[in-house]
Structure formats: C-alpha cells, structure tokens
Amino acid sequence: MKKLVECVPNFSEGRNKLIIDQITSEIDNTEGVKLLDVEPGKATNRTVVTFVGTPDEVVEAAFKAVKKAKELIDMSKHKGEHPRMGATDVCPLVPVSNISMEETVEYAYKLAELIGSELNIPVYCYENTARNPERKNLADIRSGEYEGLAAKLKDLRWKPDYGPAEFNARSGATVVGARDFLVAYNINLNTTSTRRANAIAFDVREKGRVKREGHPLTGKIVKDKKGNPVYIPGTLKAVKGIGWYIEEYGIAQISMNLTNISITSIHEAFDEVCKKADARGVRVTGSEIVGLVPLKAMLDAGKYFLRKQKRSLGVPEAELIKIAVKSMGLDEIKPFNPKEKIIEYMLEDDDSKKLADMSLQQFADETASESPAPGGGSVAAYVGSLGVSLGTMVANLSSHKRGWDEHWEKYSKWAEKGQAIKDELLKLVDEDTNAFNKIFSAFGMPKGNDKEKKIRQKAINDATKYAIEVPFKVMEKAFESMKVMKAMVEIGNPSSVSDAGVGAVCARTAVIGAFLNVKINAQSFENKKFVNDIIKKGEKLEKKALEKEKEIIEMVENKIKEL
C-alpha cells in the first residue's frame, strides 16, 4: 500500500494566470504526484493549490513550486484581502493514507530545510512541526504580515526555524508544517459590512473575541497577569475565522479554517453561523469550499440535513452529496462539481472503465459478447445488488409513508444497511472481473527457466485464491441482504411487499450463482485444505439462503392474501 501525503501550498498570486500556470506546472510535471485543484482568488490575490502523492515526490514537487514562486512573485508589490507574509505563504503537508502524522512531520522538516538552505527564504514551522507553543498557530506566526516581517526578523524570539534571519523583500517568509486535514470554508452573507461579518466570526471561532470592561466595543480591554488580552471563547472548537468583504462577489463572508472536521464539521459550522447571523439581523445566503473536501464530510452533511427533515438517510451517495450542496448553498457563487471538489473522486482513475458504471443495455451487451468477462460471478454480484436495492426501496418508501412519520428512523436504519450492502456488491461486480483478469495475466507470464516458472506459478496461485474469495464474498453479502428483505416484508409498506419478495429471490440467485464460481475456480487451486474449508462454508450459506428465501416468500404470499 502506497504512503500518500497531500500538500496544500498557498501562493500570493491570484490574478495573473500566466504566473499561476508556471508555478503549478512544476507540480504537474513531477512524477509520483497528482495535481488535484488550483483555486485562484482575485480579491485575496492568492491561489490555493492541492496535490497528492508519495512523500518524497510531494516534497520534491513542493520545493520546485516554491522555487518558481520565488522567481515570479514580488511581495513588495503584493496587495490582497487575505493575511500573508510570503510569495509561498504557507505550505502544509497532510497525511492521507498509510502514513502517520509523526512520519509526515519528518517530511515537513525535510521540505522546510530545503527551502531555507537552497532558496535562502526564512521558514517557520507550525502546527505539528512547531518547536515551541508560540509557533503552533499560523495566525500568530503571520501576525504583522509581510509589512511587519522586517522588524519581526530582528527579534530573536522570531528567529526562523530554517533559512536566514534576514528580510527578503521579494519573497518574504514561508510557513511549513504538518497538520490534520483542514477545510477552508467561506460562508456568504447578505451584507457588505466587514464589521458585521467580523462580529459573527468572533461569535463562532474558537478564539472568540477580546474581553472588554463595560461597553463590548469601546470598553477597556481586559488583560491577564502577563499583560496579554483575555478572550471570550466562541462557540465552535477547532475553528479559525475572520470576516471580510469580497469585491469580486459584492458580499461579505465569514472565512473559516475548520482545522479538525471530526470536532467541528462543515454542516455544524454552517448551522451555527446561520444562528449567530440571524441574531444580528444578517442572513446566510450560501457558502463555498475552497480547495478540496473529504467525501465523508459531504456524506455526513447530507445525512445531517436529511435527519433534520426526518427523511431516510439510506439514499445513494450522489443524493447525499446533492442534499449537502443544496442545504449549504455550495453552488451559490459557482457550480459545485463533486468530481472536482471531493478528494476521493479526484484520485479516481479516469481511464479505468467500470462495469458498474455501464448502462443496463451496455452491461447486457458486454456480457453477451465474445469476451469471457464479465462472467457469472459479476452477474451474480449485480443480481444481488438489484435484490438489496429493492429491499432498500421498500425501506425508503416506508420511511416516507404518510402517517408513519414517527417511525421514520427505524426504516432509515434499514435503508442505510441496504445501501451499504448494495455499494459493496456493486464493487464486487468489477472485482470479480478483475480477479479473472489477474488469472489471465498470470498465465501469460514468462516460463523460460526455473525461476520464471516459480514466479509464474506463485502468481497463478495468488490470483486463483483471489478468484475464489471474491465470489464467496458475494455469497456473504447477498445472504446478509436477505435480512433487509425479511424486515421489509414484516414491517414495511404492505403495498410494496412483492418488491421485497423479488429482492429475496435475487439474493438467493446471487448466493447460488456466486457459489458456482467459487466451486469452478477452486478446482485448480493447490491448497486443498483451503478449498475444502471454503466449499463447506459455501454449502452452509447456500442452504441458509434457500431456507431464508422460502421463509420470506411464504410471508409475502400471506401478506398479499391479507391485502
């Protein structure tokens, strides 16, 4: 499994496309990384870039981009709404998969050292790479911004972690770190007042607002024993925020960094800002995600807003995303394209053709063609997905049935279970064909000498084992789905009881069909103990499926007689 790291550099140029393109091409042309998103902002005069890849290659791409930004961006001429202190203002690394935060920190140090020593740019380390508490918070490091950097560098307390403690008028300074996944999130307001936007931001951000004696705006600032201002915390943890006016849009926004979406999610931030804005006579009109967002964050948001409506959460992934987009107005300013905004979708291989993405006609035509795949295993998985889809449909219909509103959550849970099984079976449609292709490829390996023969035989054995395991997994998931159908016959909408019955028949067909593939693929497998064990398990599953189908069909027949 590859180690993957995300990098989200922010460059202080959002208006000159030629400069932006030259910087991002340094990333795009680096082997081992994929450029996911380029988000320029005219008002902020800043571009947020997102790319992902293996750690060493990410460090290489980031260094090349910072180097190009040093050549092309002159900070002495820079103006923009967003706080900044350098041509490459901030360059965080984020662990994505198969890599710990501790490992990511070491790669961040490597990048910081390269920028400091090779490019002679002062570098500060923040978040998980901070070497003292004063440098953990990006806002504290960036305090005074570019204009105050020359004076800051003369202060020994602000000696850079890497690079020279000298003011670089052209490039400024860069902040490098390792952090958790951060979502840059802006909420749109029906006002042009920066003051009102800031007031709402102070209400919600974790840091809150300065405490004052007497009048909340003009009263004397309360300070602690060390002379530092005392703050009244806001209502949202792990949230940073300010208010600003965006001339490009003609509105004020609350600009937030959600630094840990497991603590404060996007939808929680949106709803809280709605409450605080309403209390101040301001209305939220929509919002925007800057850069990329994890799929889970969007699915959680969709479920959150459906739950508020007391609607079933067991709907397809695309529907959950649509609900999230519409509920938070993510398409108010510009279209929200999930393929371009959700990180998991961006990482998908566009060249890979999935059977599950075909139309019914295309799938049937491909199955009927002279190609040996898709075969019985893929068809069994697809039949199983159709069966549990019917059970899920009954759960959703029952959840929305007039007069059954108080029971919506019970049906929603069954629908969610059905959707999860359906998604698994659809993946197995393609996985069964992939397993066949692995065997085909293994048999095509060279066998000119003993070493090649040994490697080839191992590849054949591994591929054959996988080709047995995949249809057995289909059997397990299809049988599991029969619980959904049985429950919907028992407690679901009586008008749809026949649909649940058809779903049970499909599930039984999937179990028997997949077992045929288990048996035929097991014929040539060398490990007979493994074969005997899985055949015994398969026989038990097949028997249970036949019994369960019979039970469900009898229940369906009795329900129909009662109608």
Tokens representing 450? Answer: 């003993």
pLDDT value at position 276? 97
Closest CA to 339 of 317, 362, 372: 317
Closest CA to 36 of 298, 288, 292, 338: 292
Tokens representing 507? Answer: 């599930």
Is the pLDDT score of 353 beyond 80? Answer: no
The average pLDDT across 489-498 equals 95
The average pLDDT across 248-274 equals 95
Q: Same structural domain for residues 244 and 384? A: no
pLDDT value at position 269? 98
The average pLDDT across 89-109 equals 93
pLDDT value at position 1? 60
The enclosing domain of 543 has a CATH number of 1.20.120.680
Asked which of 138, 162, 178 is the last residue of a domain, the reply is: 178
Distance CA 58, CA 56 (A): 5
**Structural domain count, the chain:** 3
Digit-coded pLDDT (tens) for 203-216: 999 999 989 888 77
Distance CA 486, CA 501 (A): 8
Q: 484, exposed or middle or buried, with CB in 10 Å at 0-12, 13-18, 19+?
A: buried
Digit-coded pLDDT (tens) for 295-331: 889 999 999 999 999 999 999 999 999 999 999 999 9
Structural domain that includes position 499: 355-562
Q: Please list, residue by residue across 325-346, b when 16 or more beta carbons sit within 10 angstroms of its beta carbon and e when fewer do.
A: bebbbbebbeebebeebbbebb
The enclosing domain of 294 has a CATH number of 3.30.70.670
Distance CA 321, CA 330 (A): 11
Other CB atoms within 10 A of residue 230 CB? 12
Q: Same structural domain for residues 49 and 157? A: yes
Supply the DSSP symbol for 353: P
Q: Same structural domain for residues 308 and 384? A: no
Q: Same structural domain for residues 523 and 393? A: yes
- 254 φ, ψ (degrees, to nearest 5): -95, 115
Digit-coded pLDDT (tens) for 117-129: 999 999 999 999 9
The pairing of beta strand 33-41 with beta strand 123-127 = unpaired
Q: Same structural domain for residues 469 and 385? A: yes
Residue 350: which pLDDT band, with cuts at 50, 70 and 90? low
Closest CA to 171 of 117, 121, 116: 121
Q: Same structural domain for residues 31 and 154? A: yes
Other CB atoms within 10 A of residue 351 CB? 5
Q: Same structural domain for residues 198 and 153? A: no
Q: Which of 37, 82, 89, 203 is catalytic?
A: 82
Is the pLDDT score of 113 beyond 90? Answer: yes
The average pLDDT across 517-543 equals 94
Residue located via tokens 């002159």 = 74
Q: Same structural domain for residues 246 and 208? A: yes
pLDDT value at position 80? 87
Q: Same structural domain for residues 292 and 378? A: no
Tokens representing 546? Answer: 């036949």
Q: Same structural domain for residues 26 and 46? A: yes
Give the distance between the most distant pair of CA atoms in the chain.
Answer: 89
pLDDT value at position 262? 84
Q: 260, exposed or middle or buried, with CB in 10 Å at 0-12, 13-18, 19+?
A: middle
Asked which of 303, 319, 346 is the last residue of a domain, the reply is: 346
Collect all residues with Cβ–Cβ distance below 8 Å to 286 and sequence separation of at least 6.
187, 188, 328, 329, 330, 331, 332, 333
Is the pLDDT score of 349 beyond 80? Answer: no
Q: Same structural domain for residues 34 and 100? A: yes
- 10 φ, ψ (degrees, to nearest 5): -115, 115
* 432 in catalytic set: yes
Q: Which of 89, 430, 432, 499 is catalytic?
A: 432
Q: Same structural domain for residues 80 and 121? A: yes
